[in-house]
Each structure stands twice: as structure tokens, then as C-alpha cells.
Chain A
């Protein structure tokens, strides 16, 4: 934790804090413009997110896919390769888990769960492997390929659940329910919080360790910052990028797995409301810091959960939360610019005081 509080980080944390505050302020202005009280609104949001065991549980349930996709983005971006295809990897991973859950119904539960997790991670990883390979072999821009592969995956799984794997109840955009023994147990009554949060915790620790404490993480960081420097220092930069991308894909696949075996117990055609994109935003906001990803995911999870209560309490649409998220991003994106404006302004002030004085 000490290293997080270095000077550069402190400066960043300050701007992050100001950005969040400013966007909440703008949110408040929007509420006031609609003649609603922001105090009541935000009050409802906070109670909605943290006020009871149920709301806390819901907040944390929403955190699970965000942490996984956020870490996935962090690990790839830090290595200098951009995985924008998290959503597609998530869908394929989710479908793979569902397939395991409806096919291998005779094996014991723990084995089935392990198999589902493995299958999801593998499928997600493979799906990320190809664009990475194209990138390092033929300089095909991975941003474009991964974005396009998102559509391929969502449409392909959509086809699968509506035709070959349609549930017996008809074409409702979902597979059959997975075997009961494969389902992760719920932790709090009525909420979808389940034991996947422990898996997530474990995975987060592993990824944190990998990124911050190992030669692998070091290599990734160096290649991402200056790939020529990395190659000069003996790092196999291309391999590094491919491996990072595969890990990233596997993490997104896992996010999908947990949605299936922890939340819905089946694959659904629209199983993710864009978790991978939210995860990407989170990673961008915290500059690919793994601990930052976890904290920011909880914050985003709380916003999502609380927004429903806010809507119920004062009738402000829960979409306001999306507006707030977007404004945070805008502020963070403009961070360097704002910082420069601030610094220039201070210099001007400083200088006005100095003119006329002799050589100091």
C-alpha cells in the first residue's frame, strides 16, 4: 500500500478525487434542474448501495464481473496491447460454461465447476489469442479486430441459444438450466451475491501478484512503456504481448463463467449489459493499477445498485448514473490538460509577482 502513496500517485489520486466530486456535482445540478433534491437523491443512492445487507450484497455481486474485466483490460493495456474484445470473450466464456453445465451432468459438482471455469477461461483466452497473433505477426491493429470479434461472438452465441441449444421451453434466448450441482451457492437471501466473489478475490490476488511482484509483470510494464527498450533488454516483446492478451481474454471468459454458474444458471442471449466496457472504463480511470481496479469496481457497482433506489425514491432515471460515470471519464481524460492549465495559471501568477525584481 505504501507504494500507492508515492508523490506521482498522490497527485493522480487528488485529480481522481476532484474528478469524481465534480461529476457528482454536475449530477446534482442535473437533479436540481429537474427540481429534485440532490441530497435526497444521493441519500437514496447511498442507502441503496450500502444501506442494508441486501444492498451491500447486490453492490458486491455487481462488482464481480467489473473486477475481472477491469483486470483483464489492465493487464493487456499495461503490456502495450489493447484488448477491446472483452465483451466477446465474456460471451464465449459464458456459453462454454453453460455448455459444460448442460452436457456433463453426471460428474460431481466440484469437478463440474472446475471444468466450467477452465472451459470458459480457455475459450476466452483462445478468442483473444488470434487477434494478438495477427498483431505481432502482421501488425494488424488489435483494436479493430477485437472490436469486430465482439460482434461475431455475441451474434454467434445468439444463434446457438436460439437454434442448436434453444431451451425446451422455446426460443427465449437462453439455454437449458445448468445442472443444480454446478450452481454456485448464494450468500445472501434474495441477492445474486454468490461464492464467485471468493473466486474473484483469489483471481484478483493472483493477478495483482503477477502484475506487481514478478518478472512477468515487470516485462509487461517495460514492453508496454517502451517495447524497443524491452527488446534491447532481452525481453521477448511479442511473446509478452501475446501472453498478456491471452490472460486478458481468459479473465473476460471467467467473468462470463461466473455470470452463468453464479447468477443466471444458464446462458442468456444478452447476458452482459456491457460489463467488459465498464471494466475497460474502470481500468482507464485507475491507469491500469490492479488495486485501483478493485476499489473503482466497488464504486461503480455501488453506483449501479444505488441508482435503482434513487430512481424509486425521487424518480430520477437510473441512467443519471451513466451520465455521472461518463463525466468522470471525461474529467480523467482531460486530466493532463486541466493540470497544465492549472500549472500555467499558477506560473503566470508567480511571474507577475516576480517581474521587476532583479535576478533572483
Chain B
């Protein structure tokens, strides 16, 4: 149990402009579940990619069972029994489970032909040995995300992995699927003697599953400790480098009037398939309505329709009683919806433009930024940017800095500052803290609550259940383009929400909210 399997000594990795790993020393013991935590950009993935042979370190050595080894490609790591399950699955959707598992080292018939029979047989055996039930002959594209992940794990095991690196394995899972995964991990370790390295930023999971935990911050390893000696507060502090105050967010009682009414809304996705099927709800001032759901169940389409960026296919919606479907993005903004998009890089910003230019978006036709004719008042724009930079604590040398040079958290603050400053009665906020560091998350959450307390109606879409639970007054679940449940916050547990998010409730009796 105490045998040291892998040792990383003085590992550094330099990318142009960033020192992603800075002199890291890490020991992985045989048979442990070793969690690696850290904020986005702390260097977790880089370190694991080095261990898996995807990157070569700029300096330092790797020892495997006491012998120095050098990985020039993943093949070297695989040979030693190191396997990795990436955050984004590397499966061929149109292949069957068995075909995916044997891909690259297929059993051969007459030297050239793939022996499918044998592949299926081996997959069955594998799945029995490890107690990971899968149907070898089903196509991967028809599997749920949780099962696809299982296929990924089997794939690594098929290649003979004794050490499994799991990169953010729970990011795309429901609470139920996460519990299922943890069972599998325990079995692999306890009964089959595997070693697991799990990368994550969710501290509760670290405490739930790991035996030891290493914390990384800004490319450095802050420390490694036994999980039994750790708690959430301590880990958060180590990750951020200062005390993190998880302040109770104070919600004030507010006056609640209906400001947004959505009636039987339908819309198609980019492939022309119906992504929204009959969505109806109402949003009131002074409340946060959270939409919980696994990504890709119509959330993006719903937000885009409400923001005027996607044509509806049926139904309608009203802003303060005014029919607003089929209006342009600009008209909708004027009617009272501002919108923080889910993907700030794709839609929320131009990375090549300055912060000031990004802040101007949406007000470029309005006084006082545009004076008579089409002349822009640079002075006013500069003033406004400076004010927002200060108010929203955006860390930047100046308002002339290109948005692309900011960190994820500061970029997000630029988007939030701009949208919040429109002072619209309705705010649609999508994935407000995706890829944002803890300090900024705190700040953004406080800002959202403040807006609510001022009487703004907020529609919050997030893939992080924690965020939904922390902020919402009401929670709706969405599954395959339909609202599957609606609850007052506090009336429902995460486990229950998980069921509604996967549509599991639909056959059971109507319980209502």
C-alpha cells in the first residue's frame, strides 16, 4: 500500500509566456486515490499530460517504480500501465463500444482483418472482470455521457492500465452518475489494486473519494495532504492562497411582479432538430430563477431565442406585457433584457478589441457615447470603462488593454459589468462562472444577488448544480427541450433534481412542486 509507484521530481513546463508547471515534486503511491485540485490554469492538466507523455517537461525527471523514465509519447506511458481518461472523450461516435475499446490494438485475423468476434468477446470479459456493465455491440453515439465515460475507462483498462488518470471526470455528470462513477473507482482500487489520479476543482468530491490530495496554484504544488486531515475551507484557502470567505449571501425580501412571460416556446437547433418543445414559464422581478439541466438539453437555444439571436418555431414571449418574440437583439435589449452569454469567447467579447471597446458594445448608438451623427465620444467611453473597471474590480493595467490578454475571470467580469450596467429589468445569465477562479466566483455571485435585491428579474442557467442551489429562489429542470419540474429552492434536494434532469420522473406519478 505504501509503495511509491510514480515520482515526479522537479518537473517544470514552460509554454511561451507561461510557466505552467514550476518545479513540481509529487509522489503517487500504489493503490491510492490521489486527487489533484487547483483553479483553472493552475497547471493540473499540464502536469498530467506530462505524466501521460503528451507533453515533455522542460526540466525535471519522472521515476517509475524507482527507475528514471522518459516519455516521448503516450505510447511510452501506456507501456508502463498509465492510462488517461480525458475531459473531452476521445471516442468515435459511429463505432460500437467494442470497436472503440480495441481501437489501435485490434485483435487481428489473418494478419490484416479485424477480428470483431474476438473484440466483442474480449470486451465482454473486460466488462465482467471490472464490473462495468456495457453492451459491446451498441454504437457509442447512442450512449449517455456517463456510459461513454465508462467506455473510456474500459478502453484504458484494455490497454493494461494500472494507473488511471481521470481529468475532471464529473464535469459532465449528474449527481447520480457521479455516485455511480465513485463506486466504480472504489472497486477498481479496493478490489483490483489499481491506482487512480483524479483531477478536479470540486472540493466536496475530493473529500468524498480521495485518500490523498495535492493542491496546485499558479503552476506550483502548494502541498500534499491526507484527505482525512483536509476540509473544504483549508483546501480552498490553499488553492487561492488566501482565506476565502464563503459569505452567506443575503437575500432581501423583494416585490415580485411578473416581467417575463414565456408561452409554449418552440425552437430548432443548428441542425434543424426541435430543441425546445413547448417551454412555458414566468419570471418575476426580484427573484432568481435557476434552470438546472445537463448541457445540450435546450438551454442554449432557450437563451438565444429570448435574446433575439435565434428564430422561434412557435409560441411567444412577453417582456412586461409587450410581445417580444421575433424582435431583433437590439429591440429586445431596449425592451428590457440584458444577457450574459454562456460562452464569453464566442459571443460575449472580442478578444482582439480593447476593454473599452468591449464595454461599449450595445451602447454605441446611444447618448452620451454617440453624439450628433455617428461621432463616438471617446472621452465618455473612457470614463464609463474606467468606472466599470473600478466597480467590478477588473484587474487590468488600463481600459486600453486587449480583452484577450485578461484572465478568464476578468474577461467574464468585463461581460458582466457591461450587461449589468444596462440596468434592464431582466437579466439572463448563462454559466456565469465557467472557467473562473474562486475569488471571481465569489464576487460574481455577490453581484448577482445584489441585482436581485435591487428588484431585477434574473434567469440563471448553469451546469453547476452548486451554483443553481446557492443563488436561486426557484429552480426549474430542463430535459430534452421540456421543463420537467419547477420547485421553490429549499424544497428539493440535489438527488431529486438529478432525477428530473434526466427525465426519470416522467413516468412516475405527477407529484407537482
Contact = CB atoms under 8 A, between A and B. Distances in A.
B357 A219 contact: no
A222 B360 CA distance: 11
B416 to A, nearest CB: 14
Contacts, number: 82
A213 B376 CA distance: 6
Nearest to A214: B374
B59 A222 contact: no
Contacts of B136: none
A228 interface: yes
B307 A232 contact: yes
Nearest to A357: B23
A340 B220 CA distance: 25
B361 A229 contact: yes
B309 interface: yes
Interface in A187-219: 213-216, 218-219
A8 B307 contact: no
Interface stretch (B227-235, B346-354, B500-508): B346-354
Interface stretch (B187-195, B207-215, B326-334, B467-475): B326-334
B375 interface: yes
A322 interface: no
A232 B360 contact: no
A347 B14 contact: yes
A9 to B, nearest CB: 11
B402 A8 contact: yes
A343 B373 CA distance: 45
Interface of B: 12, 14, 16-17, 22-23, 58-59, 220, 307, 309, 328-330, 333, 339, 341, 346-353, 357, 360-362, 364-365, 370, 373-376, 378, 400, 402
A137 interface: no
A215 B350 contact: no
17 contacts: A215-B376, A216-B374, A222-B350, A222-B361, A225-B353, A226-B346, A226-B347, A226-B352, A229-B350, A229-B361, A231-B309, A233-B329, A233-B361, A234-B330, A347-B14, A359-B23, A359-B220
A1 interface: no
A229 B59 CA distance: 41
Nearest to B59: A355
Contact of B58 (A215, A221, A234, A351): A351
A343 B329 contact: no
Interface of A: 6, 8, 213-216, 218-219, 221-222, 225-226, 228-234, 236, 340, 343-344, 347, 351, 355, 358-359
Given A214-B375, A359-B23, 8 more contacts: A213-B376, A222-B361, A225-B353, A226-B349, A228-B347, A233-B364, A234-B362, A347-B16
Nearest to B345: A226
Contact of B370 (A8, A215, A236, A358): A215
Nearest to A210: B374
Nearest to A226: B350
Contacts of A229: 347-350, 361
A343 B339 CA distance: 39
Contacts of B59: 351, 355
A215 B365 CA distance: 7
B364 A344 contact: no
B364 A218 contact: yes
Contacts of A222: 350, 353, 357, 361
Contacts of B309: 231-232
Contacts of A213: 375-376, 378
A221 B16 contact: no
Contacts of A236: 328
A215 B361 contact: no
Contacts of B307: 232
B70 to A, nearest CB: 17
Most chain B C-beta atoms within 10 Å of own C-beta, residue among A229, A344, A359: A229
Contacts of A358: 23
A219 B220 CA distance: 42
A38 B16 CA distance: 39
A288 to B, nearest CB: 12
A232 B23 contact: no
Nearest to B220: A359
Contacts of A226: 346-347, 349-352
A166 B291 CA distance: 73
Given A214-B374, A215-B365, A234 B329 contact: yes
Contact of B350 (A216, A225, A344, A347): A225
Contact of B329 (A216, A231, A359): A231
Contacts of A8: 402
B376 A359 contact: no
A30 B104 CA distance: 53
B352 A225 contact: yes
Contact of A228 (B220, B330, B346): B346
B223 to A, nearest CB: 13
Contact of B339 (A218, A232, A355): A232
Given A225-B352, A232-B307, A343-B16, A219 B339 contact: no
B490 to A, nearest CB: 34
A218 B348 contact: no
A215 B333 contact: no
A8 B350 CA distance: 16
Most chain B C-beta atoms within 10 Å of own C-beta, residue among A219, A226, A232: A232
A232 B341 contact: yes
Given A226-B350, A234-B329, A218 B376 contact: yes
B375 A6 contact: no
**What 8 A-B pairs have minimum CB-CB distances, sorted nearest first?**
A234-B330, A233-B361, A214-B374, A225-B350, A226-B350, A215-B364, A225-B352, A233-B362
B459 to A, nearest CB: 16
Contacts of A215: 364-365, 370, 374, 376
A230 B328 CA distance: 13
Contacts of B333: 234
B357 A232 contact: no
A226 B378 CA distance: 21
Contacts of A216: 374
A236 B365 CA distance: 12
Contacts of B364: 215, 218-219, 233
B87 to A, nearest CB: 24
A356 B72 CA distance: 23
A234 B364 CA distance: 9
A344 B329 CA distance: 44
A5 B347 CA distance: 29
Contacts of A219: 364
Nearest to B331: A234
A221 B374 contact: no
A232 B373 CA distance: 23
Contacts of B328: 234, 236
A219 B330 CA distance: 13
Nearest to B304: A232
B375 A232 contact: no
Nearest to A233: B361
B360 A218 contact: yes
A344 B353 CA distance: 26
A231 B370 CA distance: 19
Given A214-B376, A222-B353, A344 B362 contact: no
Given A229-B349, A234-B328, A359-B220, A218 B16 contact: no
Contacts of B351: 225-226
